[in-house]
Amino acid sequence: MPSAPMDVEAAVVEAKGDPFRIRTVPLEEPRPDEVLVRVAATGVCQTDAHSRNQDYPIPMPVILGHEGAGIVEQVGSAVKDLAPGDRVAMTFPSCGRCDACRAGFPANCTHGFELAFGASRQDGTNAYGDGVHGHFFGQSSFARYALATERNTVRLPDDMPLELAGPLGCGMQTGAGAVMNSSRSAPVSPWSSWAPERSAWPP
């Protein structure tokens, strides 16, 4: 039997251009492939501002945030490689089933846009209650707790400061990917100390 939803504090945008308002919102427990993360830090990206202003027509009210990092609190029954207590960063969502995902290019997922901006799971459901939409970029990290999936949650080294890890999920890999794809650099080069996921599709 499913447990009762937990109440989480979240920064909610009620309507186009509104300020972020702190609200308590019900959140369901994780489904089999989902990961509940206690958010320790999150970056603020221009995409959040664009979405708040409806430059991307996402459903509202909504919990934004897509550069989150924190501690795994609970995992679904099908999650294999993460466990409660793991330090993680959350990144963009992908379906894992389309041609791009199967070829190792999740940044080019056929369903990437709807998963990022649909403010729901891919099946159209929402884990958040009171009419509030979540799942923004598969995480909605402007909250005390975020619900992600194993596919967009990455375990971090124990010595990685969580307050520095959030931007790895969007800003850092976007910038590094742009440089590497434009310059056709190898994933490991003298100017780079880390290698983001490949983003060029088709190969």
Structural tokens at position 55? 């430059």
Please report the pLDDT score of residue 182 as a whole number: 72
Q: What is the pLDDT of residue 187?
A: 57
Q: Residue 167: its pLDDT value, please?
A: 74
Contact (CB, 8 A) for 54 and 16: yes
Cβ within 8 Å of residue 86, ≥6 positions away: 71, 72, 155, 156
CA distance 87 to 49: 27
d(CA 134, CA 118): 9
pLDDT for the residue 203? 42
pLDDT attached to residue 5? 83
Q: What is the pLDDT along the chain (203 residues), one digit of tens a residue?
A: 567 789 999 999 999 989 999 999 999 999 999 999 999 998 888 888 888 988 888 999 999 998 899 999 999 999 999 999 999 999 999 999 999 999 998 888 999 899 999 999 989 999 999 999 999 999 999 999 999 999 999 999 999 888 887 777 666 666 666 666 677 665 555 444 444 444 443 44
d(CA 142, CA 116): 15
pLDDT at 156: 93
Residues in the chain: 203
Q: What is the pTM of this model?
A: 0.82
The pLDDT assigned to 177 comes to 65
Question: Would you list the DSSP string of 167-183?
Answer: GGGTHHHHHHHHHHHHH
How many other C-beta atoms are found inside a 10 Å radius of the C-beta of residue 15? 10
Cα–Cα distance for residue pair 68/170, rounded to 1 Å: 9
Taking the C-alpha atoms of residue 177 and residue 17, their distance in angstroms, rounded to an integer, is 31
Q: What are the backbone angles phi and psi of residue 130, rounded to the nearest 5°? A: 60, 25
